[in-house]
Amino acid sequence: MRTGMTAPAPKPWIAAIAPYVPGRATADDGRRVVKLSSNENPLGTPDTAREAYRGAATELERYPDASAAELRAALAAHYGIEADRIVYGTGSDEVLHLAAGAFAGVGDEIIHVRYGFAVYDIATRRVGAVPVVAPDRDYATDVDAILARVTERTKVIFVANPNNPTGTYTSREDIARLHAALPRDVLLVIDQAYTEYLDPEDDDGALALARTEPNVLVTRTFSKIFGLAAERIGWGYASPAIIDAMHRIRAPFSFGIGAQRAAIAALDAHDFIAASRDHNRTWRGWFERQIAALSNHGLRAVPSKANFVMVLFEGALTAGAAYQALMAAGYATRWLPGQGLAHGLRITIGAEADMRAVAEILRTEAERAG
Ligand SMILES: *Cc1c(COP(=O)(O)O)cnc(C)c1O
């Protein structure tokens, strides 16, 4: 007879997971606030994507195409890649989980950077692998620190480029150098959730590497510049063998028909995407200058290539106090003490009026604190 446990016990590596904390949309009292905490697009969703989504309302009784053939064909045409080398998931979050699940297990190691995307730690622990944390270089990805941590047990490396929550960018040379120095049986995942926000000259070369190399996976999402976070659509591109392994363990129906139609339409929303990029570049630059003007109060912005800025508070005004002041004024930002960033706030680049208001509140609070 079995003895002992009185209830099912989660595996110890599952019990060790710190749950993902989503960006807030409400204050403690339930008031809705302006959400600058999840890097959503302040310009909304392309009209054409909204219409395509509505068009699916007559087909709600049907399962979607499990092979996402139309979406893969659209992605292939848009990016000049092979449709049969694309995997997709319920957000790129699922694609990241698939990468860990297909290539790592109990006792294996997965490397990510110290100030990295919170999902990497969860995806690693979920499969019983050990997260190995590579220190940063002034908040940016340090390729040499990653390489120094590669062991016989390393199976996967997660690098976001640009990185979240820091906004830092890893150059094409550094990505190539990282890949060149890795054993060929280590999967290098380049998470390009914010790649559409980059200036054209900033191609990090990862998609080209994924085309020719057997151990590179690039992940992308429709949640950020394409304005479709609600519909949970992400995808990845890699060698046929990597894609095959990931397909074996994905959910059979990753996202709905409306999501798929909306994503296809969003790919062609060139004006919307250009306007989103322009708005972001303009107001990110403006906001970074406002923070630079507060350097005598100990504020500084980590240089960002994404649609958010990590502001560091190294003077009398603390990040926690700034977070509270912004929340009280109706602005939710992302304070990440649990990720070793008790001294930083990640602030999404929102609408003009909101950026002006946030900058003004930070100036007032910094001056008050001394
Ligand atoms: C937002 C984000 C994603 C995308 O998440 P989805 O699941 O596609 O919404 C992936 N990686 C990073 C680094 C992100 O910031």
Q: Is the pLDDT of residue 87 over 70?
A: yes
Q: Is 164 in the pocket of ligand 1 (CB under 6 A)?
A: yes
Average confidence (pLDDT) over 118-146: 98
H or E segment to which residue 301 belongs: strand 299-301
- Exposed/middle/buried for residue 183 (C-beta within 10 Å: 0-12, 13-18, 19+): exposed
Cα 228 to ligand 1 centroid, rounded to whole Å: 12
Q: CA torsion 349→194→161→71, rounded to 10°?
A: 170
CA dihedral of 255, 94, 252, 261, whole degrees rounded to 10: 20
Among 125, 93, 96, 98, CA closest to 109 = 125
Cα–Cα distance for residue pair 99/40, rounded to 1 Å: 24
Q: What is the pLDDT of residues 298-331, one digit of tens each?
A: 999 999 999 999 999 999 999 999 999 999 999 9
Closest approach atom of ligand 1 to CA 90: 7
pLDDT band at 157 (very low <50, low <70, confident <90, very high): very high
Q: How far is the CA of 163 from the centre of ligand 1 (A)?
A: 10
Average pLDDT over residues 363-368: 98
Residues 107-126, mean pLDDT to the nearest whole number: 97
- Report pLDDT digits (tens) over 30-82: 889 999 999 999 999 999 999 999 999 999 999 999 999 999 999 999 999 99
* Residue 210: predicted pLDDT: 98
pLDDT of residue 121: 97
15, burial (CB in 10 Å: exposed 0-12, middle 13-18, buried 19+) = exposed
**Is the Cβ atom of 231 under 6 angstroms away from ligand 1?**
no
- The response to whether residue 92 sits with its C-beta less than 6 Å from ligand 1 reads yes
Q: Which atom of ligand 1 is nearest to the CA of 233?
A: 8
Ligand 1 centroid to 223 CA: how many Å?
7
Q: Is 318 in the pocket of ligand 1 (CB under 6 A)?
A: no
pLDDT in tens, 169-199: 999 999 999 999 999 999 999 999 999 999 9
pLDDT of residue 77: 98
Taking CA atoms only, the protein residue closest to ligand 1 atom 12 is: 193
How confident is the model at residue 5, as a pLDDT?
76
Dmax over Cα atoms in the chain, in whole Å? 71
Of the ranges 144-148, 288-292, 337-341, which one carries the lowest mean pLDDT score?
337-341
Mean pLDDT of the chain: 96
Tens digits of residue pLDDT in 222-259: 999 999 999 999 999 999 999 999 999 999 999 999 99
Closest CA to 192 of 214, 169, 166, 173: 169
Whether residue 1 has pLDDT greater than 80: no
At residue 296, does pLDDT exceed 70? yes
3-class SS of residue 137: strand
Please work out whether the CB of residue 259 comes within 6 Å of at least one atom of ligand 1.
Answer: no
Q: In angstroms, what is the span from residue 93 Cα to ligand 1's centroid? A: 6
